[in-house]
Structure 1
């Protein structure tokens, strides 16, 4: 029982950033704390209730418990926002819903709320940005390609003079939705629009070209591996038959790659019994560096070192780069943003 409680608490607040006990909470890194605060109260409640046996119809593992309880919480808050239009705290409830719908793949449920926000004249800029994101992703999830791209155009025009990072992340999430619907042309159109909006930025242009090239691999059998892992065993897709594989192209000297590691650790622990594996393809120059880093960070998934074979087969020139291979060995999504990993793995693995 204690192990399950620790696992639940660990998911809410990563131990690489904070140590949470009932007697001594410590401050975590602000960014990741904000990311996982969404689950905090839910996980604490689940942990306190864990001493009681689960009813027969309840989820039997942490991942399914987290999903079902988070979904129930989301539905309750949505019902509150819909049934109490005059409540003084309704704007806070709406903002919470709009912020947390996309990371769970539930944007279709709150499109109407998002459209209400966009029609309101008094909405604050952060709320408007969240509403636009929900509308864009929700339309794409419904299969409404042209309206989704039109909404993206409007959003990109509003960002033109800003840092492109937010636009890039939005476009990656939108492209993932289109990939799942096998709308490759629509996914390519997303990156065409991003390039047009930031036509003076060579880094954005090159990144979009690379992502459009990788989109051609989606829906096809994953390219062969045929390289040894760090333990000297040859890697091939037969070893992952029947499993969903998250492929992570990274390097120890890549700061954005390292920023993703706490999330990957959490996913590895959560999905360990759900048939999901992580495969790290390092672009480091020597195996000793990766060995030492893996041991120091206690990374539990398989790794390979490769610059000249696997990365070119997957058309990877820039890192980090995350891809998902389904249980049949087909590549179903490329350039997945970290915020979309959990719901995507649940959907592909389901």
Structure 2
């Protein structure tokens, strides 16, 4: 059972931050809590402006966003290099302060490989700052993941935790909870996108026993609850879609099914929706299905699920979604709880035998994973 926040207004789930952060033990990753002032979708959807551009415009928007992201990354990399150059020529204490700023910048920008040379310099040096050294180790861990050295990252994590136990200082004293959760989430995302659920499970089990912050413990436990599903029979999903048609996951045995959890207050981007549509169009005829689970009702303690349907239907029509969408509900209809979903967006991939084989997939691994499962 997931450790979800209580379903009070707009606090039901945490929306994962667009830029993911750092790691664990001495810190743990970024995650953005849905603000209490977030406005839920209106019952009738009349105030919800969910219109989406046509495909040609969407492609242009995606290209503009990609070009902007590339330029922004270039500026961030230049920023890191200037900080590194400054740190090299300073006395130890001042150098450590600059390196700390460098690592925090890298974490916020989600660029770790570019910060690894600075991390190596700090780890190989003798700076009088335990927090700076811990940050260097965390940055290096995720840089190792970025180049595919996942097993080494786990070894280094274990060594870091052992070293931290004997250290005079504790990086957790200077890192905020959101930074700690950010590091953990960055680590988690890289591991699951590579299909290394085994490493993710071992890493989070390792760190859970050392974490002190209740929020960090909840984050780690929630991720472990989800990871336990991998390789197990998928929990049942039964209900009716937005048009009242029955849906039963068991009836799709023999097909590959992607379950997508979402809400109108945490909409996917145009690019995300586009690649899901493309994957569905390419693989549906070969046995691939998608089912959406809308979590808007989790905003209320005792939701009137039907009241949320108009806004959700409007979204589905604007996006021309061709797969069934079920509304999450209380009791046996609480699909999110059954799948351990505590943050969105979230997804679960189920194979033809009805087993969970993946979660939180992205474009680069969804398409090849689905093709492999379908024997294409």
TM-score range, shorter chain: 0.5 to 0.7
Once residues 27 and 332 of structure 1 are traced to their aligned partners in structure 2, the CA distance between those partners, rounded to angstroms, is 29
**1:2-17 paired onto structure 2 within 5 Å:** 16=55
Once residues 261 and 169 of structure 1 are traced to their aligned partners in structure 2, the CA distance between those partners, rounded to angstroms, is 22
The corresponding residue for 2:63 is 28
Look up the SS of the partner of 2:203 in the other structure: helix
**Which structure would you say has the larger Rg?**
2
Q: Is the 8 A contact 2:145 2:191 kept in 1?
A: no
1:18 is aligned, of 39, 50, 57, to 57
Unaligned runs of 5+ in 2: 1-52, 71-113, 122-135, 165-170, 298-307
Q: Is the 8 A contact 1:250 1:282 kept in 2?
A: yes
Residue 329 of structure 2 corresponds to residue 304 of structure 1: no
Residue 344 of structure 2 corresponds to residue 327 of structure 1: no
> Considering only aligned residues, what root-mean-square deviation do their CA atoms show, in Å?
4.3
2:315 is aligned, of 293, 298, 301, to 293
Residue 220 of structure 2 corresponds to residue 208 of structure 1: yes
Residue 257 of structure 2 corresponds to residue 245 of structure 1: yes
| TM-score, normalisation: structure 2 | 0.51
Q: Displacement of 1:294 after TM fit?
A: 0.4
**Cα distance, 1:217–1:19 mapped onto 2, change above 3 Å:** closer
**Structure showing the higher helix proportion among its residues:** 1
Look up the SS of the partner of 2:358 in the other structure: strand
Q: Is the 8 A contact 1:132 1:151 kept in 2?
A: no
Residue 187 of structure 2 corresponds to residue 170 of structure 1: yes
**Cα distance, 1:288–1:31 mapped onto 2, change above 3 Å:** same
The ranges of structure 1 where at least 4 consecutive aligned residues each deviate by more than 6 angstroms after the TM superposition are 32-35, 117-121, 127-130, 153-160
**Cα distance, 1:222–1:346 mapped onto 2, change above 3 Å:** same
1:275 is aligned, of 284, 287, 290, to 287
Unaligned runs of 5+ in 1: 1-13, 36-113
Residue 213 of structure 2 corresponds to residue 188 of structure 1: no
**Cα distance, 1:194–1:29 mapped onto 2, change above 3 Å:** farther
Q: Displacement of 1:213 after TM fit?
A: 1.0
Q: Displacement of 1:317 after TM fit?
A: 3.0
Q: Displacement of 1:326 after TM fit?
A: 0.4
**Cα distance, 1:343–1:155 mapped onto 2, change above 3 Å:** farther
